[in-house]
């Protein structure tokens, strides 16, 4: 009998953790064939993209090669982009891979599955706002983060010449005061200090004007009030201009226009507001929400097909209170663990168990300046409020937990040592 094939589409944090565990348990023991499909050749933890965008993190050092990782952990990797799904034949179609000139490197192909897992994450939602797609940077992928970094470095260089400055201060506008927007705002001030210290520019952080724009009444609207107030206070100390209850209605080459007609002029514009699942998910014949998230039951199975699972930001999974599981990294991590057990149960013809989200709290990094957050149960009475160095320690530990999940204890420990050495050997930010 041929081995059952489990195909996971999407090598983000949850997808990579899932195939790693399945590969170790099933792939290496020849109990199942585990296949990961992703359009990119490498993985980087998405919560770190704001650090890639400012050059604080060198993606070339921290990215994980899927091909190399798969060999070590018992699964197969196929590079490709999901383009279609045939549920009757249990096949998915992968679009052709093109080079930079548009020539076909690998033609379109079909891939059979016995069980399919969709872990495609999410992208920013511009809500159809005019001009956003043409004039704003997004931070949904390493490629987009690198594009922002190059633009940022060129803008700082241009402002080194007073005659080429468009505004009295270098202005950056960030729409969306969720975790990505808030952390990027703080990282920009850190980056400007480092660029000045390396002689890259004669500008210092006092000549940087960051506008953080949020339609909700407060920044970090999904988090407890104690955290939002503490982060608001720290951002204002850095010099961030915070605009709450401000809805952007248009973007152009000079900045943003708000609902009341106010213009916010910028040299660099970033859109980090709202999320949606990749729109093509609504074209696969599966039930989806308005934001294209695939509707799944509590066991993370598609409501249309028990052989198809989905989790993370691309899935709409109900909780006991009727609300969907929030699109957070810790939710994807917990769902990967539950789905791993449910897939094992499926292969053994055992009943599946529902996913129950456990809120472990929230942590927000403000570059090297500070960190703020809570542990345990978010806004409940049992939460533990943290700030300063101890909060920074726990924030850094989140990435180490992800590394432990995909690499194991030995390699993660060695990586920590190497990272410590690199702090002395390499510049504190990527300058090229």
pLDDT digits (tens, 9 = 90+) for 316-344: 999 988 889 998 889 999 999 999 999 99
Mean pLDDT across the chain: 91
DSSP reduced 3-state for 282: helix
State percent of the chain over pLDDT 70.
97
With both helix axes pointing from N to C terminus, report the angle between 389-407 and 409-425 in degrees, rounded to the nearest 10: 130
Domain ranges of the chain: 5-122+277-348, 142-274, 361-425
- What's the predicted TM-score (pTM) here? 0.91
Residue owning tokens 């548009």: 102
Q: Looking at residue 377, what is its pLDDT?
A: 52
Which pLDDT tens digit goes with each residue over 158-211? 888 878 888 889 999 999 999 999 999 999 999 998 988 888 888 776 789 999
Q: Are the folds of 5-122+277-348 and 142-274 the same?
A: yes
5-122+277-348 folds as FAD/NAD(P)-binding domain (3.50.50)
Contacts of 148-153 with CB under 8 Å at 24 or more apart are 148/53, 148/268, 148/270, 149/52, 149/53, 149/54, 149/55, 149/430, 151/268, 152/53, 152/54, 152/55, 152/188, 152/191, 152/268, 153/55, 153/195, 153/200, 153/431
Q: Looking at residue 350, what is its pLDDT?
A: 96
pLDDT band at 369 (very low <50, low <70, confident <90, very high): low
Which pLDDT tens digit goes with each residue over 87-119? 999 999 999 998 888 899 889 999 999 999 999
In this predicted structure, which of 69-78, 253-262, 411-420 has the lowest mean pLDDT?
411-420
pLDDT band at 378 (very low <50, low <70, confident <90, very high): very low
In this predicted structure, which of 109-113, 331-335, 394-398, 402-406 has the lowest mean pLDDT?
394-398
Q: b/e string for 255-274 if b means 16 or more Cβ within 10 A? A: bbbbeeeeebebbbbbbbbb
Q: Looking at residue 382, what is its pLDDT?
A: 63
State percent of the chain over pLDDT 90.
71
Give domain 142-274's CATH number out of 3.50.30.30, 3.50.50.60, 3.40.50.720, 1.20.1530.20: 3.50.50.60
pLDDT band at 353 (very low <50, low <70, confident <90, very high): very high
């Amino acid at each position: 009998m041929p081995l059952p094939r489990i195909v996971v589409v999407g090598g983000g944090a949850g997808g990579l953790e899932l195939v790693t565990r399945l590969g170790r348990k099933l792939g290496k023991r020849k109990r199942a064939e585990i296949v990961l499909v992703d359009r990119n050749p490498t993985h980087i933890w998405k919560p770190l993209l704001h650090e890639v965008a400012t050059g604080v993190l060198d993606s070339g050092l921290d990215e994980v090669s899927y091909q190399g990782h798969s060999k070590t952990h018992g699964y197969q990797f196929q590079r490709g982009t999901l383009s279609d799904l045939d549920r009757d034949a249990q096949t998915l179609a992968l679009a052709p891979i093109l080079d930079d000139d548009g020539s076909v490197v690998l033609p379109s192909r079909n891939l059979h599955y016995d069980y399919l897992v969709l872990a495609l994450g999410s992208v920013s939602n511009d809500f159809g706002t005019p001009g956003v797609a043409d004039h704003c940077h997004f931070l949904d992928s390493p490629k987009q983060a690198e594009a922002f970094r190059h633009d940022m470095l060129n803008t700082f260089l241009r402002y080194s010449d007073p005659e080429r400055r468009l505004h009295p201060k270098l202005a950056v506008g960030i729409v969306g005061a969720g975790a990505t927007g808030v952390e990027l705002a703080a990282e920009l001030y850190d980056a400007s200090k480092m660029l000045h210290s390396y002689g890259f520019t004669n500008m210092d952080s006092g000549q940087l004007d960051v506008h953080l724009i949020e339609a909700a009444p407060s920044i970090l609207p999904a988090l407890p009030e104690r955290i939002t107030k503490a982060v608001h206070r720290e951002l204002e100390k850095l010099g961030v201009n915070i605009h709450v209850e401000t809805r952007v209605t248009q973007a152009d080459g000079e900045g943003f226009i708000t609902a009341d007609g106010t213009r916010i002029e910028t040299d660099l514009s970033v859109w980090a507001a709202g999320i949606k699942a990749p729109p093509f998910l609504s074209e696969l014949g599966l039930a989806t929400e308005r934001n294209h998230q695939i509707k799944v039951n509590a066991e993370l199975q598609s409501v249309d097909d028990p052989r198809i699972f989905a989790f993370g930001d691309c899935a709409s999974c109900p909780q006991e209170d009727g609300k969907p599981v929030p699109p957070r990294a810790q939710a994807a991590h917990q769902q990967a663990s539950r789905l791993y057990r449910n897939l094992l149960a499926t292969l053994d013809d055992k009943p599946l168990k529902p996913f129950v989200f456990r809120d472990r709290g929230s942590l927000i990094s403000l570059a090297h300046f500070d960190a703020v957050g809570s542990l345990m149960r978010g806004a409940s009475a049992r939460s533990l409020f943290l700030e300063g160095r101890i909060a920074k320690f726990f924030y850094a530990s989140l990435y180490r937990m992800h590394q432990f999940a995909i690499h194991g204890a030995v390699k993660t420990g060695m990586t920590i040592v190497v990272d410590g050495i690199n702090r002395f050997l390499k510049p504190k930010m990527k300058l090229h």
